[in-house]
Structure 1
Amino acid sequence: MSERFDTEVLVVGGGPAGYVAAIRAAQYDLDVTLVEMHALGGTCLNRGCIPSKALLSAANVAHDARTGSQMGISADVDVDFQRMVEWKDDVVGNMNRSVEKLCKANRVSLVNGRAAFEDEHSARIEGPNGESERLTFEYAVVATGSRPIELPGFEFHRPEVLDAKGALALDELPDSLVVVGAGYIGMELSTLFAKLGVEVTVVEALDSMMPAFSPDLVAPVASAASELGIETNYGELASECHPTDRGVAVTTEDVDSGDRREYEADAVLVAVGRTPVTDTIDLGRIGIEPDEDGFVRTDEYGRTAVDHVFAVGDVAGEPMLAHAGATEGEIAAAEIAGRDSSAVDRAIPAVAFTSPEIATVGLTEAEAEETDHAVSVGEFPMRASGRALTIGHTEGFVRLVCGDGGVVLGGQVVGPEASELISEITLAVEAGLSAGELAESIHPHPTLSESIEEAAANEQDLAIHTLNR
């Protein structure tokens, strides 16, 4: 390291993208300083992925116990929501401490504070008690993440208006909840609260649920939501809300007719997406201007318009996924260290932890047909899976989308443990494996993973446990 710099690599933001970039850079023997304003782990660990999945797991236990009559189980379940939240907080706290230990064990210097650029090689760090210091760096990695989009009239400082963070930190369950937004975050949280006995009403300006996924993947989720008692209202734009004696009244306008409706509930949860955080770091001081959507433009290695400054994670744009950000952090660290970063053509899975789960990777059938490939498809329904039958969750299917020579170009899974099953398909896409090679790989019985083997065999008209296409 040049003696004129305080640190070789300054990482701003300690979420999945930032702390992974910091640890990997340190593993490459670089001197690294990581600055985080709040708790290590970022939104994902502290206010998003981990706490929501912890509460979803608990809600699933309660729901399965209540609805186990087909297995001969009847139960009157008492949910101690305060204790459930305490358990969730313990999970988050343990992981937060683990990230801190990993950073320190890898010789990453940790600084609690807000970092903002002063010039191309220095930043001012304001500590939690108002103190500040100047830190010079050779390279910088911006990993400031994203925050929930706040709708006009639905400001999050209002006690009756919740974002995901507020919803996951409630002290007690509301009796009723209006959810604005039927994207994957809105539907995950709607499922969570409905399984805990909350009356949930969803309003969505678009004409469908979770439009990022194809309708046949979403259909089992919509059906399950209906069975849970979730009321969904499409084509309605949430226009305003006001407090009531009960809690809140949400007014919507029909996007076609303009007709207004009002929904009353204890609270309203706004889940209409996230926006990148670029207003805390003074990017303009080093000549970096976000694009029209607020994201920092980068090349495939995470490098910005300033060669020695990188941006990774949500702040660098879609896909705004924790595992994508972590991978970008690894790539940026490798590029800074002069290592092979393998940045091109990475297969990135996407998952919605709804009921049932949805997971996708690579190309859909429609996308593959727009290429020069001779497209073929293999499918296997979960209702034909012995393991799915034994756990009482048979909704959904596995689909493999293949190109020339049966090479797997993508896959879609909807059903139990889709989030786990997608990894094998991701590996197949990444490694250029064929459906034939997947079909020849022996999967243990009885497991859900056999559905991938059968879908692969179905692509060749050789499936045993389902009719071939």
Structure 2
Amino acid sequence: MQYDVIVIGSGPGGYVAAIRCAQLGLKTACIEKYATYGGTCLNVGCIPSKALLDSSEHYYNASHAFKTHGINLDNLSLDMAQMMKRKNEVVAKNTGGITFLFKKNKIDGIQGVGSFKDKNTISIKKPDGTEQEITGKNIIIATGSKPSSLPFIQIDKKRIITSTEALTLTEMPKHLILIGGGVIGLELGSVYSRLGAKVSVIEFMDSIIPTMDRGLGKELQKVLTKQGMEFYTGHKVTGATVKGKEVTVTFDAPNGDKKELKGDYCLVAVGRIAYTDGLDLDKIGLTVEERGRKITVDDHLETSVKGVYAIGDVIKGAMLAHKAEDEGTFVAESIVGQKPHINYNLIPGVVYTWPEVAAVGQTEEQLKAANVKYKTGSFPFRASGRAVASGDMDGFVKVLADAATDEILGVHMIGPRAADMIAEAVCAMEFRASAEDVSRMSHAHPTYTEAFREACLAATDNRPIHI
């Protein structure tokens, strides 16, 4: 079978690329090794984790906050089986949605493991053991990533687990030891902390969410500590062993002292690594970078082999579903001769704890390192009428603007619905708005987004209204 485009992988990058290619009139096939579409994000990542985050937040509020609202509950209990059942139903609805979209756009979805025979021919090993070959003028590699680990830790997927297994636990952990204080670990740690588990976080860097603005990490750690989590930042893990149902994690303190924690589960969340296994890239002359196994691409996301592209987690940049989606659209439109663009500086990052954390653009640390003169304005949610009404008063919005032009250079939020609020900042920065531009735009009252406006007022000439 001859195609205009063959996409390998049906995660957010792959399925979006396939749909956009089909919309542009290209005969398209999408190869997926698993029985359902959606890749890590829909099956064992973004979607199921958010389902559990929402469920656990409801439980936490019922047990900690409802009385304040005049809602009294007797005999509150947790049904883990039902919570996981709901999570699975959410996943099924989303993956089923992609099946519908493929049919609607006349995309041939093929289940199996795809590998290169040559730069235009893909061999597909089917689940039943048979093989199929298809050819395409253009190939898009969108095979995503898998959880990374530490070389001295053996993940048994029972007591020492990755994010994949953490989404399918059938019992409540008593003490979950979390190695890694980044986005994935903190989100899943939050789920089980809210449900009543003791959660201990060991992070090598001196701050959690270390790639984000330091002020966000400091505030998030304060809030999560208040919620019951404990943190060991600046500590180096040296080992993890299992004996029966007990896990022992050893680690070194900043001063060199030896420490250990014992729990019933250990979640290793030290990042992800590009998944390129089985593609037979060597047959078309492609190699991967030693560190992270990334595929090298040019500014058009094309590899050194003409007509072969790569997107998402298998190439450089943040491992984010929405980055992969943007790149999938970018490649599809490039193939037909359009001139799309992606501003990588304006791809937002989000942590779906509660409060949520979201950021776009440059951090203060980056601006200082680049010797950029900037001004800053911030506004706390405790001064937001909407936040006071809902009881979500932790956090703040911080705006960084160019000292001379007032152009917004970075926005950093921690607070209620920050994941949704950050879109306004992205939009403003795409159009190169100044802090004053945003401060003069009407924002509905009372809303959480008024905090962004107030932070812009603070950055413009230090004149926020409500503090």
Quick one: which of 1, 18, 24 aligns to 1:22? 18
Measure the CA separation in 2 of the matches of 1:256 and 1:61. Answer: 37
Task: Say which is worse superposed, 396-405 or 59-68, in terms of deviation.
Answer: 396-405
Which residue type is aligned with residue 375 of structure 2? S
Tell me: CA distance 1:280–1:178, structure 2 relative to 1, closer, same or farther (3 Å). Answer: same
Measure the CA separation in 1 of the matches of 2:350 and 2:426. Answer: 12
**How far off is 1:256 after superposition?**
5.0
Measure the CA separation in 2 of the matches of 1:88 and 1:188. Answer: 15
Task: Say which is worse superposed, 386-395 or 341-350, in terms of deviation.
Answer: 341-350
Task: Say which is worse superposed, 60-69 or 41-50, in terms of deviation.
Answer: 60-69
State the TM-score, normalizing by the size of structure 2: 0.94
Aligned residue in 1 for 2:61 = 64
Tell me: CA distance 1:345–1:80, structure 2 relative to 1, closer, same or farther (3 Å). Answer: closer
Measure the CA separation in 1 of the matches of 2:46 and 2:435. Answer: 32
**How far off is 1:374 after superposition?**
4.7
Decide whether the 8 Å contact of 1:405 with 1:434 is kept in 2.
yes
Q: Deviation digits for residues 192-235 of structure 1, max 9, x if unmatched?
A: 10000011122223332221122211122111221222122234
Mapping 1:35-46, distance limit 5 Å: 35-38=31-34, 39-46=36-43
Decide whether the 8 Å contact of 1:300 with 1:343 is kept in 2.
no
Q: Deviation digits for residues 97-144 of structure 1, max 9, x if unmatched?
A: 001111121111100000010111111100111111111111000001
Tell me: CA distance 1:426–1:122, structure 2 relative to 1, closer, same or farther (3 Å). Answer: same
Aligned residues: percent identity? 35
Aligned residue in 2 for 1:418 = 418
Aligned residue in 1 for 2:263 = 265
**How far off is 1:348 after superposition?**
0.5
Aligned residue in 2 for 1:53 = 50
Q: Secondary structure at the match of 2:22?
A: helix
**How far off is 1:41 after superposition?**
0.7
State the TM-score, normalizing by the size of structure 1: 0.94
Moved over 4 A (4+): 255-259, 369-374
Decide whether the 8 Å contact of 1:296 with 1:304 is kept in 2.
yes
Task: Say which is worse superposed, 186-195 or 249-258, in terms of deviation.
Answer: 249-258
Q: Deviation digits for residues 377-396 of structure 1, max 9, x if unmatched?
A: 22211111000101111111
Q: Deviation digits for residues 349-391 of structure 1, max 9, x if unmatched?
A: 0011123211110112343355576522222111110001011
**How far off is 1:461 after superposition?**
2.9
Verify: 1:435 aligned to 2:432, yes or no: no
Which residue type is aligned with residue 7 of structure 1? Y
Mapping 1:304-383, distance limit 5 Å: 304-344=303-343, 347-369=346-368, 374-383=373-382
Measure the CA separation in 2 of the matches of 1:314 and 1:81. Answer: 32
Which residue type is aligned with residue 427 of structure 1? C
Measure the CA separation in 2 of the matches of 1:258 and 1:377. Answer: 37
Aligned residue in 2 for 1:120 = 119
Which residue type is aligned with residue 426 of structure 1? V
Tell me: CA distance 1:323–1:258, structure 2 relative to 1, closer, same or farther (3 Å). Answer: same
Measure the CA separation in 2 of the matches of 1:315 and 1:98. Answer: 24
Q: Secondary structure at the match of 2:294?
A: coil
Verify: 1:198 aligned to 2:200, yes or no: no
Which residue type is aligned with residue 92 of structure 1? V
Decide whether the 8 Å contact of 1:301 with 1:341 is kept in 2.
no
Decide whether the 8 Å contact of 2:399 with 2:455 is kept in 1.
yes
Measure the CA separation in 2 of the matches of 1:258 and 1:371. Answer: 33
Which residue type is aligned with residue 52 of structure 1? S
Decide whether the 8 Å contact of 1:300 with 1:344 is kept in 2.
no
Measure the CA separation in 2 of the matches of 1:400 and 1:118. Answer: 51
Q: Deviation digits for residues 159-183 of structure 1, max 9, x if unmatched?
A: 2121111010112222221111111
Which residue type is aligned with residue 6 of structure 1? Q
Mapping 1:225-264, distance limit 5 Å: 225-245=224-244, 247-254=245-252, 259-264=257-262
Measure the CA separation in 2 of the matches of 1:380 and 1:260. Answer: 41
Q: Secondary structure at the match of 1:405?
A: coil
**How far off is 1:409 after superposition?**
1.7
Measure the CA separation in 2 of the matches of 1:409 and 1:228. Answer: 32
Aligned residue in 2 for 1:282 = 280
Which residue type is aligned with residue 442 of structure 1? S
Measure the CA separation in 1 of the matches of 2:398 and 2:173. Answer: 38
Measure the CA separation in 1 of the matches of 2:387 and 2:86. Answer: 29
Measure the CA separation in 1 of the matches of 2:460 and 2:234. Answer: 42
Verify: 1:146 aligned to 2:142, yes or no: no
Measure the CA separation in 1 of the matches of 2:297 and 2:243. Answer: 47
Mapping 1:3-22, distance limit 5 Å: 6-22=2-18
Q: Deviation digits for residues 382-419 of structure 1, max 9, x if unmatched?
A: 11100010111111111111124322122111111111
Aligned residue in 2 for 1:455 = 455
Tell me: CA distance 1:107–1:458, structure 2 relative to 1, closer, same or farther (3 Å). Answer: same
Tell me: CA distance 1:167–1:344, structure 2 relative to 1, closer, same or farther (3 Å). Answer: closer
**How far off is 1:257 after superposition?**
5.7
Measure the CA separation in 2 of the matches of 1:187 and 1:346. Answer: 24
Q: Deviation digits for residues 319-362 of structure 1, max 9, x if unmatched?
A: 11000010011001111111121235661000111232111101
Task: Say which is worse superposed, 279-288 or 107-116, in terms of deviation.
Answer: 279-288
Decide whether the 8 Å contact of 2:239 with 2:251 is kept in 1.
no
**Runs of 5+ consecutive residues of structure 2 not aligned to the other structure:** none
Mapping 1:376-391, distance limit 5 Å: 376-391=375-390
Task: Say which is worse superposed, 292-301 or 360-369, in terms of deviation.
Answer: 360-369
Measure the CA separation in 1 of the matches of 2:240 and 2:216. Answer: 32
Measure the CA separation in 2 of the matches of 1:292 and 1:431. Answer: 38
Measure the CA separation in 1 of the matches of 2:215 and 2:315. Answer: 30
